Amino acid sequence: MDDARFVSVMMPCTISVYEKDDGNIYIAHMNAGLMGKVFGGVISEVMSGPVTEQQNRFVDFAHDM
């Protein structure tokens, strides 16, 4: 697993919340599952599983506010 540690620079995955001039609020985030597929192996498993699940929970929560 040591060979996968370099991806830790992207953790935790960032989520951006911002308001544009049109007055709307937007949420942007990295597609962790897609990024994980680029690396494959255990990185793909983690980024497309638990990381994506947590990102989606945050976005859903923020959307419901």
At residue 31, φ and ψ (nearest 5 deg) are -80, 90
**Listed residue (46, 45, 11, 2) closest to 30, CA to CA:** 11
The whole-number average pLDDT for the span 17-38 is: 90
User: What does pTM read for this prediction?
Assistant: 0.67
Enclosing domain of residue 39: 2-64
Is-contact 3 22, C-beta < 8 A?
no
pLDDT of residue 12: 67
The whole-number average pLDDT for the span 35-56 is: 90
Residue with tokens 């498993």: 45
Residue with tokens 């990024």: 35
Domain count, the chain: 1
Contacts of 52 (CB under 8 A, 6+ apart): 32, 33
pLDDT of residue 16: 85
